[in-house]
């Protein structure tokens, strides 16, 4: 089983795993200590179908129930193996062809291989935005992928 670890600048860390039955679940660890348990759509792994915000105490209780020792060891090893993966932040500029349009219209992941994993709007973080999430000029888009892929997403957001 693989666990993908992604740094979310200004937010914290995202860990996503795929179950034996093909379901993706993840945990977004905010710098504040809050954890979001996230379940992704089976048909569109960039879309979140459910999020449960957990306090630090609730996250600790669940971790104890699941047994954290093996998970922490495995994540440390994965972190050492992920070379070439970057996280970038790009604004939706005024005049962007995607200002007022949904994320799904960008087809960013299909076109670039990079994923839009969060949007920061007015200090609020929208983790794992759905394809129907509508961008607004000034939104900060958090993108994960190769350097080339993230640069291509920035180009798409600027020029279409």
Residue whose tokens read 């193996």: 81
Question: What mean pLDDT comes out for the span 105-127?
Answer: 89
What does the alpha-carbon distance between residue 15 and residue 100 come to, in Å, rounded to a whole number?
30
What does the alpha-carbon distance between residue 130 and residue 128 come to, in Å, rounded to a whole number?
6
What is the SS3 string spanning 78-97? HHHHCCCCEEEEEECCCCCC
Does the pLDDT of residue 68 top 90, yes or no?
no
Question: What mean pLDDT comes out for the span 117-126?
Answer: 84
Q: What is the pLDDT of residues 82-96, one digit of tens each?
A: 667 777 888 898 899
Residue whose tokens read 């860390």: 13
pLDDT tier, 139 (very low <50, low <70, confident <90, very high otherwise): very high
Question: What mean pLDDT comes out for the span 19-47?
Answer: 86
What does the alpha-carbon distance between residue 71 and residue 87 come to, in Å, rounded to a whole number?
23
Q: Is residue 40 within 8 Å of 128, Cβ to Cβ? A: yes
Residue 29 is classified by DSSP as E
pLDDT tier, 70 (very low <50, low <70, confident <90, very high otherwise): low
pTM of the model: 0.52
Helix (H) or strand (E) holding 115: strand 115-121
Q: What was the pLDDT predicted at 63? A: 72
**Bigger pLDDT: 149 vs 63:** 149
């Amino acid at each position: 089983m693989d666990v993908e670890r992604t740094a979310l600048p200004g937010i914290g860390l995202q860990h996503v795993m795929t179950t034996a039955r093909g379901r993706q679940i993840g945990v977004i660890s905010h710098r504040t200590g809050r954890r979001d348990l996230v379940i992704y759509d089976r048909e569109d792994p960039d879309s979140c179908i459910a999020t449960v915000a957990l306090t630090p105490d609730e996250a600790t209780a669940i971790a104890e129930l699941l047994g954290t020792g093996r998970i922490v060891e495995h994540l440390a090893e994965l972190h050492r193996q992920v070379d070439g993966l970057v996280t970038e932040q790009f604004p939706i500029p005024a005049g962007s062809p995607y200002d007022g349009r949904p994320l799904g219209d960008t087809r960013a992941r299909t076109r670039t291989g990079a994923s839009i994993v969060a949007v920061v709007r007015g200090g609020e973080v929208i983790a794992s935005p759905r394809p129907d999430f509508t961008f607004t000029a000034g939104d900060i888009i958090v993108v994960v992928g190769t350097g080339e892929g993230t640069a291509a997403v920035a180009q798409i957001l600027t020029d279409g």
